[in-house]
Structure 1
């Protein structure tokens, strides 16, 4: 009996580089799970304007980043281009208006939109063409292979129907919860939010969240729950899925910068055990507690980042936490990657006062699991020393001795040095990672800084020996475990 073909609506703007990356991945994703793509261009500036995004309608998201975050994000973007072999020419035309180009796409039926969309992305991001020019747009359309495009005239650019449809698309994607593009709407998903309200249809935002889109579509296709999707870890694209033997025998170090006050750092910490299982005794993990608040002040970052973004983006951020917990728990259920399931609960005592907690972690790293779980699973005010002492005692840790050592100037200085090191390295938040290669006495080769627990697939690749500067041939891909083949994510324009 044939399975139902489920729809995924793909919202994009030609001017968005992350939507460009998503374009090169979306068709391979859909083909793996027999999904139908609905191609919906949307004007990103209109989304920014209507959601009161801090960068404004004419800006780029990075416009409001502090210098450290801008540099880290730029390096991450460049790394992603390499991982997916994305053809890219940083054009002087970037951030030119795409309104007319998007309206042109809307003039074609859904089956013709992929060809024109790819042609426009290539013109914008590779060939540096001026897609505000009507003649250029007509040439692109006529050369796209769409038969009906040959009859286009200048009249097409004055069609009020396309203008209204573009406005409708912006309002539609906002109503579905997106703060930007790329966005993906899985119309057949039914989910229950944190307030117990059931919803039909679910939006996912960001090309690096396409693993959730694929997992959910696969769950619908198979008629199973998200957690029962077979080999769900294989949907997080990697360059190296099998360790080469020489690499498997070499030593590698992972530095992990964290603060107990960050829920994202908590999620990153939960995955360290999976790295230990994967890489064994050759992996050394160095825990680097830092004062995130002090770092934020030094680099000009907001003390509470979620309060400095639009409400739309903030709401999506909370959903994102839930998605990652769901994903990591699903992986654990199939592969036993963690010590236990994540029982995440956003603390009532946010922001968490963490200096004492961090100093305790410096003195005795064995208390880190106790503190993290008290903060982000048990909803305890762990900054209260009486509560902290009780939790430590229940774990067999001498709280009085630990507090005494944690209050010494030596430990305070270590925390200060760690935080200064983070600033000097350009770290903009937690969790942050750095991979080094060598031996116990010398680590001569180091990766760049990676920021965010969602970079765990990149961390695994770097630990496995991927060199982003020298490896020009390998491409990040999902792995199809059903037939032992690997599905490349990149696509030609």
Structure 2
């Protein structure tokens, strides 16, 4: 077991899905108390994980913390867990969370040691209800075509959608990925025909912007603001419509501000958010994570840990989710 009195530190960068607004406290854009507690629990678990016998885990049993100051998304939170006692199967930690040098949360956390088999369901079924992670870029018309169907599927299975805007072009450059419009003329002609066929299936008007490709970075960052305000899905689809059916310039901050207003967001706050350095870093972080998790294009959706790529794989994902109770 780890030596008592030795602090173990983990550094996290909370995202918009970890704010108070994201769990129903509309307009409160700070990191939620449950999210901070979860980070402290994760740090405590990590502190002793390497010392546990094979087949054993530590699980949280008690938390007694005080929330001193607000913490902000997109900024590093440094969490420290110090093991202060280890008696048989009971561990006690002193935990702290800091951001920009300020103490955010502190207190005590207790964990118990248990065999992993204790947490395996007898029927072998996986837990249900995990969110669907949607990695997307406005640059891709396929994201526009996929989003309404994704929302239907999420609603049918009671799943939340976690929006993960990322830089598709940067990802393609870094992994040496495929660029369909650089393929042979025959493929490009078929590709555009296929796109229009899918647009008819989805009943969505679709046309390339006269100035395609537009730079999507500002719209991606504005989406993070919309997520914080609890209107991420509505805003993201408005931007997709603007780009792919209305030929609006989504790189224009004034247009993004108008789109924000149309879904009930504050125009000036949206425009201000676009230049925020932390949001720029958050998009980079999403792109890094997408690469690390094997994403090679957009749209990409993770459902119960499995990657589904492309608008035409959503029905396959629907079948996968429907079989959740039968998987072993």
Residue 67 to residue 30, structure 1, CA distance change in 2 (3 Å): same
Question: Is 1:62–2:180 an aligned residue pair?
Answer: yes
Question: Is 1:10–2:10 an aligned residue pair?
Answer: no
1:81 Cα deviation from its structure 2 partner: 1.2
1:135 Cα deviation from its structure 2 partner: 1.4
Q: Provide the C-alpha distance between the structure 2 equivalents of 1:11 and 1:138, rounded to a whole number of angstroms.
A: 23
Question: Is 1:103–2:221 an aligned residue pair?
Answer: yes
CA contact (8 A) 1:40 1:169 kept: yes
Name the counterpart of 2:169: 45
CA contact (8 A) 1:184 1:205 kept: yes
CA contact (8 A) 1:115 1:145 kept: no
Task: Decide which structure has greater strand share.
Answer: 2
Name the counterpart of 1:30: 154
Task: Decide which structure has greater helix share.
Answer: 1
SS of the residue corresponding to residue 108 of structure 1 reads helix
Q: Provide the C-alpha distance between the structure 2 equivalents of 1:83 and 1:51, rounded to a whole number of angstroms.
A: 31
1:183 to 293, 300, 307: 300
Output the TM-score relative to the length of structure 2.
0.58
Q: Provide the C-alpha distance between the structure 2 equivalents of 1:12 and 1:166, rounded to a whole number of angstroms.
A: 11
CA contact (8 A) 1:183 1:204 kept: yes
Residue 31 to residue 153, structure 1, CA distance change in 2 (3 Å): closer
- Paired positions, count: 201
1:207 Cα deviation from its structure 2 partner: 0.8
SS of the residue corresponding to residue 152 of structure 1 reads helix
SS of the residue corresponding to residue 136 of structure 1 reads helix
Name the counterpart of 1:217: 321
Question: Is 1:208–2:316 an aligned residue pair?
Answer: no
Q: Provide the C-alpha distance between the structure 2 equivalents of 1:42 and 1:13, rounded to a whole number of angstroms.
A: 6
Alignment of 1:94-493 (within 5 A): 94-109=212-227, 111-146=230-265, 149-152=266-269, 154-186=271-303, 188=304, 201-220=305-324, 223-225=325-327
CA contact (8 A) 1:47 1:174 kept: yes
Q: Provide the C-alpha distance between the structure 1 equivalents of 2:171 and 2:191, rounded to a whole number of angstroms.
A: 21
1:154 Cα deviation from its structure 2 partner: 4.2
Output the TM-score relative to the length of structure 1.
0.39
1:403-442 superposed Cα distances (whole Å, 9 cap, x missing partner): xxxxxxxxxxxxxxxxxxxxxxxxxxxxxxxxxxxxxxxx
CA contact (8 A) 1:94 1:124 kept: no
**Which structure's CA Rg is the greater one?**
1
Structure 1 unaligned spans of 5+: 55-60, 189-200, 227-493
Question: Is 1:73–2:175 an aligned residue pair?
Answer: no
1:8 Cα deviation from its structure 2 partner: 0.9
What stretches of structure 1 move > 6 A for 4+ residues in a row? none
Q: Provide the C-alpha distance between the structure 1 equivalents of 2:227 and 2:201, rounded to a whole number of angstroms.
A: 32
